[in-house]
């Protein structure tokens, strides 16, 4: 199989425990369809945390699939400023040099965002509970009402 960028024969390498095809000339990588999921899974997380739409802003790519030679589709990965290419027949993904690191960075960033969101949701729930007169005594509204009853 040859590189879709520079037509050099791809070499097999092991990265993050995944067998990927690597271009020794441009340092790009071909990931079979399931290997992108496997690479994402190398970031400590659950499948639930990684679940989301992967392809945004799809458009024709300049590259051709190294498996079937069809013109690939370029897309913004998970709505971030990272453009990857994929075969329309789902043979795999082309990642240019260093893009595999960006994929891992994006997954880590998404996980941090999910944890922040969960923490904010919990804090909001505690705040609302306080307004309703939860375990901490009378609510803010009860205290305001008491001011006007005097």
Give pLDDT tens digits for 131-141. Answer: 665 555 666 66
Most confident region among 60-64, 105-109, 127-131 by mean pLDDT: 60-64
Hey, what's the torsion of the CAs at 42, 10, 28, 94, to 10 degrees? -70
Q: Which two tokens stand for residue 60?
A: 């024709």
Residues 6+ apart with CB under 8 A from 147: none
Query: Which tens digits make up the pLDDT trace of 82-125?
Result: 999 999 999 999 999 989 889 888 888 877 766 676 666 676 77
Sequence-ordered list of residues with C-beta below 8 angstroms from that of 116, at least 6 positions apart, any chain = none
pLDDT digits (tens, 9 = 90+) for 6-50: 999 999 999 888 899 999 999 999 999 888 888 877 766 555 544
Nearest alpha carbon to residue 21 among 9, 38, 33: 9
Does the pTM surpass 0.85? The reply is no
- pLDDT above 70 coverage of the chain, percent: 73
Query: Could you tell me where the beta strands, DSSP code E, fall in 1-150?
Result: 11-15, 18-22, 29-32, 55-64, 71-77, 83-86, 92-95
Distance between CA atoms of 85 and 93, rounded to whole angstroms? 6
């Amino acid at each position: 199989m040859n590189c879709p960028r520079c037509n050099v024969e791809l070499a097999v390498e092991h990265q993050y425990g995944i067998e990927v095809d690597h271009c020794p000339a441009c340092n790009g990588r071909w990931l079979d369809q399931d290997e992108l999921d496997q690479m994402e899974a190398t970031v400590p997380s659950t499948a639930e945390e990684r679940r989301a739409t992967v392809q945004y802003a799809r458009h024709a790519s300049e590259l051709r699939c190294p498996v079937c030679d069809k013109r690939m589709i370029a897309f913004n990965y998970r709505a971030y400023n990272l453009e990857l290419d994929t075969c329309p027949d789902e043979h795999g993904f082309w990642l240019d040099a260093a893009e595999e690191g960006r994929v891992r960075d994006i997954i880590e960033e998404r996980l941090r965002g999910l944890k922040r969101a969960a923490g904010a949701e919990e804090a909001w729930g505690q705040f609302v509970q306080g307004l309703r007169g939860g375990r901490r005594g009378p609510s803010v509204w009860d205290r305001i009402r008491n001011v006007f009853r005097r």
